[in-house]
Structures are given as C-alpha cells and as structure tokens.
Amino acid sequence: MKKIISVLMVAVCLMMAAPVQAQLHLGVKGGLNLSKVSFSKSDWKGDNKTGWFVGPMAEFTLPIVGIGADVAALYSQTDLAAKGYEVDAKLKTIEIPVNLKWSFGMGSMLGAYIAAGPQFGFNIGNKNGFMDYELKKHNTTFNVGAGLKLIRHLQLGVNYNFALSHTATIDVNEYETIKIKNNTWQVSLAYLF
C-alpha cells in the first residue's frame, strides 16, 4: 500500500511541475472539395465535382498529451448535378466540423495529426435546385482525416466526409422519389495565429 501511495504522490508532483496549460489558437482555413454524388436510383449516376470552402477555425490542444479539438465555421460550395446534366445545382452551406484531434511532433518545426468527428451543415443557398431538387435545410457528415503541421502556424490536411443522411431528394413523379447523398474528399490549408 505504501508503494502505491508513493507512486501516486510522485505522479501528482510530476503533473504539478509540468506546464499543463491548454493552448488555444485561432486561424483561417480554406481548401478544395472533391464530391461524389450518389443517387438511390441505379440509372442515375453521380460524377466527381469540385468545389471549395473557406472560414475561421479554432484549435484547442493539451500540449503534453497532444489531444485536443478543432472547430471551424466554413462557407462551402459543392455541386450535386447528375452525370450528363450541364445545369447549376450548387449546394451552398455553412459547415461546422467538430473534430477530436491527436497531434504528435517530430520536432518544433514539423508535426502530424489525425482527426475525427461530426460535421454539421446548414443550407444557406436555394432550397430548390434544378429538376425539382429539394435540398435539405441541414445535414450531418462524419469526418476522418490526417495532416501535417508545418513551422508552427501552417496545417496541411486531408479529410473524408461520410454522409450520414441524404442531402437532397428529387420527386420524379408522385410515386417515385430519388434520394441524393454527397460524400466529399477535402484538401485544406490552415494558418493559425
């Protein structure tokens, strides 16, 4: 029992001696969306579409263990057009990713991270697209990603967003509705102050 108490006392003293101050960094983030649209009806095909996103972000990290979170408010544009249709079907949203992030360093000038968490999207564009698209007011995706931290201020990352629900529906006729899902690869560059 004395050994356990001694070990606990040493651990408490080490934790008190270490500078365990959480770090909060604010910054801006932007990048490229590469979306793959899928339709619930087999004769409709989705195509890879590019879009973009930009907005402010915040990162909170516990320096000793490298675990933290990052949150952003991103204006995002993606295209939901079916393959072969040359029409404007842009989805304009505010995306709020909330990721749990584990960072590990390879020195003071280079580090890496992995991240995962939900992303909440709110439609701020048209609610109806072309061909009777009915765009949802909000949707949820799940992010997984990784990246590099360069010279303490830059972050280069890659995320994949899995759609957890459909993004839009199309009423083909009164008996048939097609659901649309949108999965997205994102390549991002962030600058933290």
Give bridge partners of residue 54 from the DSSP assignment.
30, 75
Of residues 183 and 79, more confidence is placed in 183
DSSP state of 82: B
Residues 6+ apart with CB under 8 A from 124: 92, 93, 94
What is this structure's pTM? 0.77
Give all domains of the chain, ordered by start, each with its CATH number.
21-192 (2.40.160.20)
Q: Are 133 and 126 in contact (CB under 8 A)?
A: no
Give bridge partners of residue 147 from the DSSP assignment.
113, 157
pLDDT for 154 = 93
User: What end-to-end distance do the CA atoms of the chain give, in Å?
Assistant: 48
Query: Residue 170: how many CB atoms within 10 A of its CB?
Result: 21
pLDDT for 128 = 58
107-129 pLDDT, tens per residue?
668 889 999 999 999 988 766 55
